[in-house]
Amino acid sequence: MKNIASGKILVLCCLFLALVALPLSARAADAVKFGAIDVQKVLNESEAGKKAKSDLEGLIKSRQSSIDEKGKNIEKLKSDMEKQASVLSADARKSKEDELEKALREYQRVVQDSQAEIKKKESELTDTILREIRELIEKTAEVEGYTLVIEKGMVLYSSKGIDITESILKKYDALKKSKK
């Protein structure tokens, strides 16, 4: 009997606290300010993002030319081997096959090294820009009184009024210009 009575008292106390806290939470909700940002858009459309993309494309082109050169060398070796197949001795054919295998391994190594280098460079450039954007978002949120800023890509719907992407993009470009 005591357990039932104390259980009822506990439920009533919880209900009372909820009713008292409800008006407080309603007033607090009025002061809440939300923001949503498309970080990927800022990354792609900012001057720093465009420069990073351009730098990365330059690196890709330079690596691709080296890869293409190795590929042409392999094609030439294959062609030479096919043309000379009937006149080559077994030892000479074995030597040409070994040379071709070596060239193929070198080609594969260059491709893998290039891919790794490009991936590393992309990661470095992107991480730096994203870190700077996040710092800017935090500062902006504190100064402008945002309670919560969320990534737009994670949200199914948000009002256009809470989108701060363009504001952050402009501030980020201005920040990068002022640092130069």
- Percent of the chain whose predicted confidence (pLDDT) is above 90: 52
- Percent of the chain whose predicted confidence (pLDDT) is above 70: 83
Could you tell me the pLDDT band of residue 9, with boundaries at 50, 70 and 90?
low
pLDDT reported for residue 136? 95
| Overall average pLDDT of the 126-153 stretch | 93
Instruction: Pick the range with the lowest mean pLDDT from 15-19, 44-48, 80-84.
Output: 15-19
Nearest 10 degrees: Cα torsion 114, 116, 117, 123: 140
CA distance 96 to 92: 6
**Boundaries of every domain in the chain:** 1-31, 32-179
Helices (H) and strands (E) in the chain, counts: 5, 2
User: What is the C-alpha R_g of the chain?
Assistant: 32
- Say if residue 26's pLDDT is above 50: no
Q: State the CATH architecture for 32-179.
A: 2-Layer Sandwich (3.30)
Give 12's contacts (C-beta < 8 A, 6+ positions apart): none
CA distance 8 to 22: 21
pLDDT reported for residue 2? 44
